[in-house]
Amino acid sequence: MGTAPADVLNDRLRGLAEQVRRTDAMVADGEPEGVHDLRVALRRTRSLLRTYRSLLVDEARGEAERLRAESRWAGGVLGPVRDAEVMHEQLSMLLKEQPAELVLGGVAARLADRAREDARSGRERIERLRADARYARLLDDLDVLATRPPFAEVEDAAVRDRLRKEWRRLRRRARAAEAHPVGTPAAEAALHETRKAAKRARYAVEAALPLLGDKGGGTAALAEQVQDALGAHRDTLLTRSLLRELGVRAHLDGDNGFTFGRLHALEEARGDAAAAAYRTLRSELDRKKHRRLLG
């Protein structure tokens, strides 16, 4: 008969609740990947409760909806902190790779000053979050929901129906993005929506892997590759925005802005490469083997 779908989903939720607690402790200890790992744990939890919400027992649905909203709130606090970490890690590495004769003016000092400013702001955001009774209640109530357990006994077909819907959503978002001229704000927004849909599809498939068998890993990996390519592309939009801001400020201060322009061009090229990688993956989303697996 195999593993019961409800057992798979309930085990997944328990594991995610434990992961949230573990990564919250990492954040408290100031571990380098703590913010990233906590944000992912909350996002995976929210995705599980959203994708499989129709499979929850009736009495758990209201609480699951509330916890989805609360985890979105907490993730929204963590998001800018993690974005700043990624941005400054990338720019620090990129600057170190440049030949000394091409690093002109006070670019290193300006980037370092901004990194310290953003790190200080990030620590303050995290301290406020962890001191908030709302956040403490989120963690406690998630533990309670995970131990009840909330997912009902359902047929395997019900899980696969949810997976098909997430995969269709991803393909629909990908098609919608193709309707906009490359590089326009509308195209960037549509690609961001595609990335979010890829993330949802990946998490949905990963949660159901015990039911899908070995082939499910390939489908989850494709969604992850799409997510990563579009994520790298989006990251360069953030770095380019910061580089332009700091370059303009350097110019107004009478400093040499050459290196900011060089770094901007390199990040633009990285963004183009990420977008090209996504386009290579795009046709894979329509492959019948993925739809057959989920159906």
Return the pLDDT at 253: 96
Return the pLDDT at 183: 86
Q: Are 180 and 190 in contact (CB under 8 A)?
A: yes
Q: Can you read off the two tokens belonging to residue 159?
A: 């899980």
Q: Rounded to whole angstroms, how far apart are CA atoms 193 and 230?
A: 10
Q: Rounded to whole angstroms, how far apart are CA atoms 248 and 292?
A: 52
pTM, 2 dp: 0.92
User: Across the 295 residues of the chain, what is the mean pLDDT of every consecutive 10-residue run?
Assistant: 84 97 97 95 97 96 97 97 96 97 96 97 97 98 95 92 93 94 92 96 95 87 96 97 97 96 98 95 82 64
Name the amino acid, one letter, at 25.
Answer: A
Return the pLDDT at 287: 80
Question: What residue has token string 């993005």?
Answer: 177
Residues of the chain with CATH 1.20.120: 1-154
Return the pLDDT at 295: 57
Question: What residue has token string 């350097």?
Answer: 250
Return the pLDDT at 256: 95
Q: Are 19 and 207 in contact (CB under 8 A)?
A: no
Return the pLDDT at 1: 39
Which of 1.20.120, 3.30.470, 2.170.120, 2.40.50 is the CATH number of 1-154? 1.20.120
Return the pLDDT at 63: 97
